Structure 1
Amino acid sequence: MESTIIKKLGKRVRKLRKAKGLSSDKLAELIGREGSFIRRLETGRMKNIPEDIEKIAQALGVSIAELLTTPEEKKEIELEFRTDLVTILVINGVPASGFEGGDTEIIDYLPTPREMLRGLPQERVAWVKVVGDSMEPKVSRGDLVLVADGSWVEVKNGDLVIAVMDGEKTLKRFYDKGNYILLVPENESYEPLMIPKDKLKETSLYLYKVLGILKRMQ
């Protein structure tokens, strides 16, 4: 484990040294060492972390923590210990009738502000990649929508939902019109879907409520 740390330290020292335009001999001079000391450090040929690490950090203009940790690693550590974030699955399409026991293809994981879950357990929500354009321009193909299992949330008129009916999935705005359900697209190229409630006795309709939208970077 320590040899791995020393190798990473050496690579980090070399990168920072070159970024400051210092030769290995010049860096060694700044810390009162020979050039061979820096070269051995940068090539991972030391057995232990050198006692001069504080001097090296000062010479390179960074803290010891910055010397031992890359920005990417620091970000990962910060995410791991942030209590305001939870890791949520990114899935390629929702199950037919809820997350519990449903088949889903996990394509990624996304740190998500806890407040976006609105108090729901994290296993009852997921990010879903949008594949259609029925809600353009509000939601575009490739965007991610954070959805909640419909059995755990109240779906109100005007809510954005993913509706699953007989295996078909669509992103629409939901309206309960009394005798029928109306699913309205934002894209004028698509017609609204009207589902008579008496038809629901013969078919299945499952709703996932959209809690948030993450726009795809252009």
Structure 2
Amino acid sequence: MMEKEFDRDLPLKKQISENIEALRKLKDFTLIKLSEESGISKSTLSDYKNCKTLISPGNVEKLAEVFNVPKSAIDPSFKSKGISNLIPVEPNFVKIPILGVIACGDPILATENIEGYTYEFAEYLPSGEIFALKAKGDSMEPTIMNGSKVLVRAQSDVENGEIAAVLVNGDEEATLKRVKKQDGIVLLMPDNNSYEPIVVSPSNPARIIGKVIRAIMDFD
């Protein structure tokens, strides 16, 4: 059996893939949209995403123009290229945990609750602890679509009318609802009129864990 050839460029390919994906999602571009804007074929972009090929200098330039970032924001190897007295401005990406099922009694960001990570520009995020959830169901449509990635800032309360991530069902399930406070009563309101509000009570407790700051929908 032949030994698999070692790919010495794989770490760089992975970094480039992560950079392109973070920038693409920040722009809310599908691969097809990015292909149209950059003039790079969708199959080539898919190869970059899946770390199959190393990006060419020409395509680095095309993507940098589309995203309006330095070339080094696409390909870190460009740090050492170009005029020596220029200092490249690196994008400040933040690694944000994506939560799955919340284990009862565990801290929200416990390792066992995290199913993956997403990357966002720090300058577009508020201060504080940020995590992400995947929206399930259509109770918050059209505001938040089923399958959206939702960014949440950890906090224990929100203003009246704001959308929050709320723990229900014994602190094991996180739901996204608009919080309405009225005459000492807290209601968890869906934006979809097909659903009924949830009344928070001692027999039906709920706990706010964060304020929704952004919802992102991927189409591929």
- Check 1:137–1:184 CA distance in 2 against 1; reply closer, same or farther (3 A cut): same
TM-score of the pair, normalised by structure 2: 0.54
Mapping for residues 128-167 of structure 1, pairs under 5 Å: 128-151=133-156, 154-165=157-168, 166=170, 167=172
Deviation at 1:176, TM superposition (A): 1.9
Q: Partner residue of 2:95?
A: 87
Deviation digits for residues 42-81 of structure 1, max 9, x if unmatched?
Answer: xxxxxxxxxxxxxxxxxxxxxxx928x8989962529x97
The code of the aligned residue for 1:125 comes to I
Q: Partner residue of 1:210?
A: 212
Deviation digits for residues 141-195 of structure 1, max 9, x if unmatched?
Answer: 11100012224xx511111112112234321101122421111101111101111
Mapping for residues 12-51 of structure 1, pairs under 5 Å: none
- Which of structure 1's runs of 4+ aligned residues deviate more than 3 A? 69-74, 93-98, 100-103
Is 1:89–1:110's contact at 8 Å kept on the other side of the alignment? yes
User: Which structure would you say has the larger RCO, counting Cα contacts within 8 Å and 6 or more residues apart?
Assistant: 2
How many angstroms apart in 1 are the aligned matches of 2:190 and 2:140? 5
SS of equivalent residue, structure 1 residue 103? helix
How many angstroms apart in 2 are the aligned matches of 1:203 and 1:4? 53
User: Is the counterpart of residue 66 in structure 1 residue 68 in structure 2?
Assistant: no
How many angstroms apart in 2 are the aligned matches of 1:159 and 1:94? 22
Is 2:101–2:173's contact at 8 Å kept on the other side of the alignment? no
How many angstroms apart in 2 are the aligned matches of 1:163 and 1:106? 19
Q: 1:171 aligns with which of 167, 176, 193?
A: 176
Q: 1:104 aligns with which of 113, 119, 141?
A: 113
Is 2:94–2:122's contact at 8 Å kept on the other side of the alignment? yes
How many angstroms apart in 1 are the aligned matches of 2:151 and 2:190? 18
Larger radius of gyration: 1
SS of equivalent residue, structure 1 residue 127? strand
Higher helix share: 1
Deviation at 1:203, TM superposition (A): 4.1
Mapping for residues 185-200 of structure 1, pairs under 5 Å: 185-196=190-201, 199=202
Is 2:141–2:191's contact at 8 Å kept on the other side of the alignment? yes
- Residue-pair matches, total: 147
SS of equivalent residue, structure 2 residue 200? strand
TM-score of the pair, normalised by structure 1: 0.54
Q: Partner residue of 2:16?
A: none
RMSD across aligned positions (CA): 3.7
Is 2:142–2:191's contact at 8 Å kept on the other side of the alignment? yes
- Check 1:101–1:111 CA distance in 2 against 1; reply closer, same or farther (3 A cut): closer
Deviation at 1:91, TM superposition (A): 2.9
- Check 1:188–1:203 CA distance in 2 against 1; reply closer, same or farther (3 A cut): closer
